[in-house]
Amino acid sequence: MQKIITIAEAQKLSSPNPFALLTTRKPDGTTNIMALSWWTYLSNHPAAIGICLSNKGYSGTCIKANPFFSLSLPGIKLQNSAFQCGTCSGRQRDKVKELSIPLSQHPDFPVPYVTGSRIAFSCEMCSAYLVHDHTFYLCDVKQILGDDTILALFAQHGYAKLDIVSTEIPS
């Protein structure tokens, strides 16, 4: 080891991280969207994931009011608009409309997912845990859609840019 570093420096050194767009329902029924890399797989049987959101953000408020959300891993065609989702809050704006994020609706799920994603998880939050300045949400996965022809985006250099990574397996 070279030196003691900060958590922000560790996040840069551990990049790239799988990047996602989280969609929730606002109280008025419209869709809120945010950029997220702090998510992880938790269980296979039954399928569960975890997401970690800042206590200052709007999406946690939406999930606490309505526990259903979608977590989509957007493809390269959404690179610019997906990056912009992480630069502002949806509390007072309609980021889906402003950034032209295409959404699709599951027939049996109340929150849309991002069209053009490699994976889209339909989830229900089942418990929440305060972790200092963030809240960790444990979530049951209700349905997963996948398209292996779409290359997913990854947060790189910390969260300075979004791009694909090589999917080739070395021989």
Q: What is the pLDDT of residue 87?
A: 86
Q: What is the pLDDT of residue 86?
A: 87
Q: What is the pLDDT of residue 106?
A: 86
Average pLDDT, 10 consecutive residues per value, the chain (171 residues): 86 89 95 96 96 96 97 96 90 93 93 97 98 98 95 89 77 57
Q: Which domains does the chain have, with CATH numbers?
A: 7-163 (2.30.110.10)
Q: What is the pLDDT of residue 13?
A: 87
Q: What is the pLDDT of residue 171?
A: 57
CB 37 within 8 A of CB 159: yes
Q: What is the pLDDT of residue 35?
A: 96
Question: What residues contact residue 69 under an 8 Å CB cut-off, 6+ apart?
Answer: 22, 23, 24, 59, 62, 63, 111, 123, 125, 139
Q: What is the pLDDT of residue 107?
A: 82
Q: What is the pLDDT of residue 12?
A: 86
